[in-house]
Amino acid sequence: MIHKITESAMTPNPRVGNAFKAMRALGISEQTVRPVLKKLLKLYDKNWELIEEENYRVLADAIFDNSEDKVGSNCFQ
């Protein structure tokens, strides 16, 4: 069976791309952004406005908080 690939399946959500771009400007990789962004979208019930405010500040804060948690837990092992 041949599956038809739709254009929407090939083009990512522009909001996701903008979030990646904003975080890339801070030196944060897409690989780091993706899981945090997914958690925030779930937490905020897919309300992008809350994530996009202040140039994605809540996303950046969540990423930095997540990385501090990882560093802190490694210090005590």
- What Cα–Cα distance (Å) separates residue 77 from each residue in 65, 67, 70? 19, 16, 11
Report the topology of domain 12-75.
Helicase, Ruva Protein; domain 3 (1.10.8)
**pLDDT tens digits for range 24-56:** 999 999 999 999 999 999 999 999 999 999 999
> Under DSSP, is residue 13 helix (H, G, I), strand (E, B) or coil?
coil
Tokens 């038809």 label which residue?
4
User: Any idea where the domains of the chain sit in the sequence?
Assistant: 12-75
Whether this model's pTM surpasses 0.85: no
Q: What is the mean pLDDT of the chain?
A: 84
Closest to 51 in 3D by CA, of 28, 22, 27, 11: 22
